[in-house]
Amino acid sequence: MGNRRKRILSGMRPTGKMHLGNYVGALENWVKLQGEYENFHLIADYHALTTNPDTSYIFENTIDMVIDWIAVGIDPEKSPIFRQSQIKEHTELFLIFSMLITTARLERNPTLKEQIRDLKLETITYGHLGYPVLQAADILLYKGEVVPVGEDQAPHVEITREIARKFNTTYDKVFPLPEVKLTDFARLPGLDGQKMSKSVGNTILIADEYNKIKEKMKKAFTDPQKLRKGDPGRPDTCLVYTYHTKFNPDETEQIYRDCTSGKLGCVDCKMKCSKAINSVISPFREKRKELEKDRGKILDIIIDGEKRAREVAEETMSEVRKAMLLG
């Protein structure tokens, strides 16, 4: 038991092809953690309904997303990949957990308030208010002990801990209290300096070809005071320099000096950055092309992951029902 690896539950809504923000904020970290932890990777298709009840896009988006997950290095043999909607125990545990938390507590959730603001919502559904409870069910159904998230998601993990504590004290000790593992580079801004989002059109996709990357980078936000080559720049305020720090770290010191002195112009800097980004994602892009040739195989991988995840979920729910004297 002492040598057992701690368990992680990570997931995303099925949004289709992944962009650099997804890679930097989550996928890169998931790949690194594979050898250190026991990982489960959730396709959060029920969560997608909290802000959009249309389900017509979910299946194709799921396949596209999983192709990118595998292309960047997620090994489904080590880390089961599965759809939330296909493991019915998620909804059962969500229902039970919803009895253990007040609406007032959910209304205080700062991440929910941020979502309402960003999406400009005037009203929200019961499911949207309660989605941190569903997220708690997602994590605790697999007895997740570590949750890798950005700082903006940390309040959700705290709600999960509260619910686990409440269940354990009300019934019996079934669940661990999961710990937050903050992602090193949690949020990569979009090309306009705002939050990266495909709906806004400010992304670079993992699937983008080199010419497409260069075309998109030409429009990237830079220091507004640096109008032409020769003008001294301020790298610390420049989005392109932020990208360099992630995708081109070996050259950042020289780029910083050349930008501040005016030796390096923005066009040349953007092309350097495009090349660096392409060098990182080109192996993923090539693997993605191979995976796309057999989308049926991707579905088989997901179904296999669901079988393995279901075994764990059923075992947990058996413990839950026993603790509650319900079976």
Count of domains observed in the chain: 2
pLDDT at res. 65: 98
190 in Cβ contact with 6 (< 8 Å): no
Quick check: 2 pLDDT over 80? no
* 149 pLDDT tier (thresholds 50, 70, 90): confident
As a whole number of angstroms, the distance between CA 293 and CA 193 comes to 35
pLDDT of residue 1: 45
How far apart are alpha carbons 112 and 132 in whole angstroms?
A: 9
Considering the entire predicted model, what is its pTM? 0.93
Q: pLDDT at residue 187 above 90?
A: no
Q: Are residues 27 and 72 in the same domain?
A: yes
DSSP states along 191-259: TTSSB--TTTT---BTT--HHHHHHHHTT----TT--STTSPP-GGG-HHHHHHHHH-GGGHHHHHHHH
Q: Residue 39: inside a domain, yes or no? A: yes
* Residue 25: both structure tokens together: 């904020």
Residue 284 belongs to what H/E stretch? helix 266-292
Is 229 domain-assigned? yes
The confidence band for 3, taking pLDDT boundaries of 50, 70 and 90, is low
Q: Does residue 66 carry a pLDDT above 60?
A: yes
The parent domain of residue 259 ranges over 210-289
DSSP per residue, 29-46: HHHHHTTTSEEEEEE-HH
Pair 94, 163 in one domain: yes
CATH number of domain containing 67: 3.40.50.620
| Same domain membership, residue 227 and residue 80 | no
Rounded to an integer, the average pLDDT of 153-169 is 93
Q: Is residue 266 part of a domain?
A: yes
Same domain? 104 vs 132: yes
Decide if 203 is inside a domain: no
- List, for residues 96-113, the tens digit of each pLDDT value: 999 999 999 999 988 888
Distances (CA, A) of 33 to 56, 175, 236, 301: 33, 22, 30, 20
What is the percent of the chain with per-residue pLDDT over 90, rounded to a whole number? 78
- Does the residue 17 lie in any domain? yes
Do 64 and 102 lie in one domain? The reply is: yes
**pLDDT of 195-253, one tens digit each?**
898 888 999 999 999 999 999 999 998 888 887 888 888 999 999 999 999 999 999 99
Whether 219 and 93 map to the same domain: the answer is no
Strand-pair partners of 9: 40
Q: Are 68 and 85 in the same domain?
A: yes
The pLDDT score that the predictor gives to residue 186 is 63
| CB proximity list for 57: less than 8 A, separation 6 or greater | 16
**306 lies in a domain?**
yes
The CATH code of the domain that includes 253 is 1.10.240.10
Same structural domain, 48 and 106 = yes
SS3 212: helix
Instruction: Band the pLDDT of 319: cuts 50, 70, 90.
Output: very high
Q: Is residue 194 in a domain?
A: no
Task: Report which of 37, 67, 49 is spatially closest to residue 147, judged by C-alpha positions.
Answer: 37
283/319 same-domain check: no
